[in-house]
A and B are shown apart, each in its own frame.
Chain A
Amino acid sequence: IAGITQAPTSQILAAGRRMTLRCTQDMRHNAMYWYRQDLGLGLRLIHYSNTAGTTGKGEVPDGYSVSRANTDDFPLTLASAVPSQTSVYFCASSPDRQSALHFGNGTRLTVT
């Protein structure tokens, strides 16, 4: 692992199903973020974590949950997927809130 790894790369999911998007970083960064990217809207923050054991809500948190049990992992869970959650999801990390971000390669999720 080098940097941030997201899995899966892409997924087609039936509405109502539960799904967890995985994000792992090996840089020992304190801060981690989940964004969704939709055409014409730019990147929007879903949830964030400033350090292991803490999480916070971003701009569009409804329908999503996160956990930060350790420094490296920051999974994003869709408890019951809906078509409006079709998007490209990016995980990012930074040493702290004022430092440059490092992004994963994204997960393209389609909810049918």
Chain B
Amino acid sequence: KNEVEQSPQNLTAQEGEFITINCSYSVGISALHWLQQHPGGGIVSLFMLSSGKKKHGRLIATINIQEKHSSLHITASHPRDSAVYICAVVPNFGNEKLTFGTGTRLTIIP
């Protein structure tokens, strides 16, 4: 079982819809990352958080450490939000290296 599970694996929505992508993990962590990968491959860091909530423009990331769960929300979705969204955690034991989920492919239809 992967230490980091994302759901859904694929998500298609209409432009303007509110989007939620979930990430659950099974280990204790010191931080969690949300990354965005557009078609063509470039990966961009969206958020790094260890508690609470962060907001940047139309993107909101939340984390519940006790429940080992994080969500990425997109408000007023737009076709340019179409990408793969990747969750990654920093375990608080061992060598503290990132463990990645397999990503959620989001497609926003105009």
Contacts and interface: CB of A to CB of B under 8 A. Distances in A.
Number of chain B interface residues as a range = 20 to 34
Interface stretch (B59-67, B69-77, B93-101): B93-101
A48 interface: yes
A90 B43 CA distance: 9
Interface residues of A, number: 23
A106 B41 contact: yes
B24 to A, nearest CB: 14
Interface string A45-60: 1001000000010110
Given A97-B90, A98-B90, A45 B98 contact: yes
A45 B88 contact: no
B54 to A, nearest CB: 11
Nearest to A105: B42
Given A56-B95, A97-B90, A98-B90, A41 B102 contact: yes
A91 to B, nearest CB: 11
Interface in A62-112: 88, 90, 92, 97-103, 105-106, 108
Contact of B48 (A48, A92, A100, A106): A100
Interface in B1-50: 2, 4, 30-31, 33, 35, 41-45, 48
A29 to B, nearest CB: 13
Interface of A: 40-45, 48, 56, 58-59, 88, 90, 92, 97-103, 105-106, 108
9 contacts: A40-B102, A41-B102, A43-B100, A48-B97, A97-B96, A98-B90, A101-B33, A101-B98, A102-B45
